[in-house]
């Protein structure tokens, strides 16, 4: 009895299987399909970036001073040589006054010393002429040796006084040069208390306010020249090997809505910098500068999304990435539909952009492929 029962079960299983095969042959499985076709594949590096002026100028304080008045505001357009700010340095005014007074006194002393030098030069010339006459008379016996020696002493005394006066004049003239240099420096510092725009542009940054004390090197203004903009992206150092000058860039931003701007990588900085990510992770990033073909409605400081195209292939056979079952590096498997039945085919894969994958070998353009490569279908399964 048990043997017969087991036999019945086996017969039932075979019957069900045969019925399934018959049903399957009469009722093919419905699948989504896609044709292998020529297209393009691009590899990109994406990151956030910031819009900035292509040319800007930073103006810094050159001395300790107090902000007296500010003539402009952020966003204001200015012309070259427009007055932007007035500073006040009370100590500088005192120095200017003292130096000017000392300069006048020294100049007067130098003038007097110069006149004295000329007078003593004449006295020296008279003493030299008198000595020459005395020497002649002494040789003729007309005067005594004492008189001759007196004439020689007078000449030596005149020469010494003349030399001393010339030395004194040189000292005064050296002091004058030092005081004049100091006066020029002080006058230059006085002019720097008025801050003028070096260019025609727009005030982008104004980090100080009226009444604030500033120190040398403190930023007073940032001015953007013209309307030209560029984008600065800090790219992860791990991704930088793929990025090169001249590569195409697509720029997206909420403010642009559906518009995508085109740009190009024009500069890659020579060193990485430490940056803190939004999650608080320290990362090594390299600044990359991207130019813009069209500014659209972007403004300096806006955040954008940049997509740098690092590799691109045109007119290559492609499939959606979900249609290919990975089989190792550069290898894959697809399900071809031939005569409404499944045929498994090994393919050689190439570049992939995350959406599409290049098919180097194994398929021809127009081959019909099961779109979802993860479906559990068997070879020769009938499909529609």
Secondary structure of residue 81 in the 3-state scheme: coil
pLDDT value of position 190: 94
Q: Rounded to whole angstroms, how far apart are CA atoms 114 and 121?
A: 11
279: Cβ–Cβ under 8 A, 6 or more apart, which residues? none
Token pair belonging to 133: 């006459």
Q: Rounded to whole angstroms, how far apart are CA atoms 168 and 180?
A: 18
pLDDT value of position 30: 85
Q: What DSSP string describes 118-153?
A: HHHHHHHHHHHHHHHHHHHHHHHTSS-HHHHHHHHH
pLDDT value of position 34: 86
pTM of the model: 0.57
184: Cβ–Cβ under 8 A, 6 or more apart, which residues? none
Chain mean position to CA 239: 19
Which of these, 68, 108, 72, lies nearest to 88 by C-alpha position?
68
Locus of tokens 């290049």: 358
Token pair belonging to 140: 């003729």
CB contact at 8 A, 59 and 223? yes
- For 193, phi and psi rounded to 5 degrees? -70, -15
pLDDT per residue as tens, the chain (384 positions): 555 666 666 656 655 555 555 544 556 888 888 888 888 888 889 999 999 888 888 999 999 999 999 999 988 889 999 999 999 999 998 999 999 999 999 999 999 999 999 999 999 999 999 999 999 998 988 889 999 999 999 999 999 999 999 999 999 999 999 999 999 999 999 999 999 999 888 898 899 999 999 999 999 999 988 678 899 999 998 888 889 999 999 999 999 998 999 999 999 999 988 888 778 888 899 999 999 988 888 888 889 999 999 888 888 898 998 989 998 888 999 889 888 888 888 999 988 888 888 898 888 888 888 888 888 888 888 887
CB contact at 8 A, 280 and 255? no
pLDDT value of position 11: 58
CB contact at 8 A, 189 and 89? yes
HSE toward the beta carbon, residue 334, CA cutoff 13 A: 30
Handedness of CA 92, 94, 97, 102 (dihedral sign): negative
Handedness of CA 64, 69, 71, 76 (dihedral sign): positive
């Amino acid at each position: 009895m048990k043997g017969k029962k087991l036999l019945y079960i086996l017969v039932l299983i075979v019957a069900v299987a045969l019925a399934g095969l018959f049903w399957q042959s009469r009722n093919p499985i419905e699948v989504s399909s896609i044709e292998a076709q020529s297209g393009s594949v691009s590899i990109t590096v994406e990151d956030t970036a910031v819009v900035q002026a292509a040319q800007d100028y930073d103006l810094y304080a050159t001395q300790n001073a107090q902000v007296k008045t500010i003539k402009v505001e952020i966003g204001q357009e200015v012309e070259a040589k427009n007055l932007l700010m007035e500073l006040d340095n009370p100590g500088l005014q005192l120095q200017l006054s003292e130096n000017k007074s000392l300069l006048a006194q020294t100049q007067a002393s130098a003038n007097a010393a110069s006149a004295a030098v000329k007078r003593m030069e004449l006295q020296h010339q008279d003493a030299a002429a008198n000595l020459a006459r005395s020497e002649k008379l002494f040789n003729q016996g007309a005067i005594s040796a004492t008189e001759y020696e007196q004439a020689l002493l007078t000449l030596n005394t005149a020469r010494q006084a003349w030399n001393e006066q010339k030395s004194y004049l040189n000292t005064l003239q050296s002091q004058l040069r030092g005081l004049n240099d100091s006066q020029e420096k002080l006058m230059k510092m006085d002019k720097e208390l008025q801050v003028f725009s070096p260019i025609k542009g727009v005030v982008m940054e104004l980090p100080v306010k009226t009444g604030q004390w500033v120190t040398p090197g403190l930023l007073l203004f940032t001015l953007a020249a013209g309307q030209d903009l560029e984008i600065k992206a800090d790219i992860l150092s791990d991704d930088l090997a793929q990025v090169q000058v001249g590569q195409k860039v697509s720029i997206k931003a909420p403010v642009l809505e559906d518009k995508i701007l085109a740009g190009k990588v024009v500069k890659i900085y020579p060193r990485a910098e430490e940056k803190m990510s939004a999650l608080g992770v320290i990362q090594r990033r390299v600044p990359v500068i991207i130019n813009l073909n069209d500014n659209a409605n972007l403004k300096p400081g806006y955040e954008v999304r940049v997509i740098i195209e690092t590799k691109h292939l045109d007119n290559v056979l492609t499939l959606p990435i979900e249609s290919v079952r990975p089989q190792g590096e550069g290898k894959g498997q697809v399900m071809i539909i031939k005569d409404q039945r499944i045929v498994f085919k090994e393919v050689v894969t190439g570049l992939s952009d995350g959406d599409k994958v290049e098919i180097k070998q194994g398929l021809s353009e127009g081959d019909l492929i099961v779109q979802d490569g993860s479906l559990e279908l068997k070879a020769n399964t009938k499909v529609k």
